[in-house]
Amino acid sequence: MLFHLALVAIAGAVGFVWGLGEIINAFAFDTRYALRTGGAWLLLLTNALAAAGSYAFVASLVPGLDTWYAAPLIGLAWPTVIRNASLKLTASAASSDSAGDPQPAVIRLEQLYANFQGLARRLINAALARQRVQLILRATQLELAELTSYAQLLAIASPLQESDVSDVIKKIVERPGDDEKKALLAAFILTNFGREALETFIRQQKRRSGAES
């Protein structure tokens, strides 16, 4: 029994890592901050439970899967299990066909997981958006020329040179309204170079401003 529970836990750990990969892929530079949100842990635990449940389900149907290598393999393959599995509700909760015979209502586990995944992503996104807004508001207090130069310098120094980056900055600068330009430049820096890059620049400008005064 303990051995079987350990295998279920291994499959769950694989699902947890799978969920972590989803967060890294979706939120990249903000991964560290995303992991501090409730939405991230909802996603991680949902993935862990899905993987653990998939292994327990498959192991109960197929004999000989109580092995150290089967648990992580099924933990990796749990999306396939979820995609092809469904829950049938009892007849009392079922609908009826045209002949009046009760038909079991079917819940697609894939759709159930997608709902949890979507909710978790929205919760993470909302939390990160609130944090980023505060940084952008601080950035709008800086000089437009300094912020523009910094964005251009980051684009030049970037190891991954993308051909359209300079064009994006140019289009932002050509827009009307200084505050809008500053906000867009700050958002550009956050998206492409991370929160630390903008925070460092804001601190440097505040120290310079304080020294000059």
Q: Per residue in 51-98, pLDDT tens? A: 998 898 888 888 888 888 889 998 888 777 766 665 444 444 444 444
pLDDT category of residue 208 using cuts at 50, 70 and 90: confident
Give the other-Cβ count within 10 Å of 127's Cβ. Answer: 18
Phi-psi region of 31 (alpha: psi -120 to 50; beta: other; left: phi over 0): alpha
Contact 197, 189 (CB under 8 A): yes
Inter-residue contact 12 to 51 (CB < 8 Å): yes
Using an 8 Å Cβ cutoff, are 12 and 52 in contact?
yes
Of 21-25, 26-30, 93-97, 131-135, where does mean pLDDT reach its minimum?
93-97
Average pLDDT over the chain, rounded to whole?
84
Location of structure tokens 């807004």: 133
Cα of 116 vs its chain's centroid, Å: 12
Question: pLDDT tens across 138-196, in order?
Answer: 999 999 999 999 999 999 998 877 768 788 999 999 998 899 999 999 999 999 999 99
> Is residue 102's pLDDT more than 60?
no
pLDDT tens-place string over residues 38-59: 999 999 999 999 899 889 888 8
Q: Structure pTM?
A: 0.76
C-alpha closest to that of 188 among 78, 29, 70, 38: 29
CB 90 within 8 A of CB 46: no
